[in-house]
Amino acid sequence: MDMKCDWCEGKASIGENTVYWELPDGTRAVEITATPAVNCTDCGMVYQKDTVIKEIEDQLFLVDTKKIGSSISFKDLLELPRLLKRNYFDFSS
């Protein structure tokens, strides 16, 4: 699938990378492995789409973060049971 980089509009592809995210309570950061990413072959930028960022932020807000160690895969993060059904503090939609 051909896609363009959001930064330079060069040729990009879907991949994965490791990201580091601060927990909503600010107590620590966690490593999230195998996170969906866009990789630009022209400028070298590797980034997450807004939809992935929202998934991570919502899930970290809705789960018991004390059950997350220092590292977790993106898939395992999204599979953690939620304390609430949705983020009731997100008024963007």
Q: Determine if the pTM surpasses 0.85.
A: yes
How is domain 3-79 classified at the architecture level of CATH?
Answer: Roll (3.10)
C-alpha count within 13 angstroms, C-beta hemisphere, residue 50: 2
pLDDT digits (tens, 9 = 90+) for 33-88: 999 999 999 999 999 999 999 999 999 999 999 999 999 999 999 999 998 776 66
Contacts of 7 (CB under 8 A, 6+ apart): 40, 43, 45, 47
Tokens for 30, please give them: 């966690």
Q: DSSP label at 81?
A: P
Determine the Cα angle at 29 with ends 66 and 93, to 5°: 85
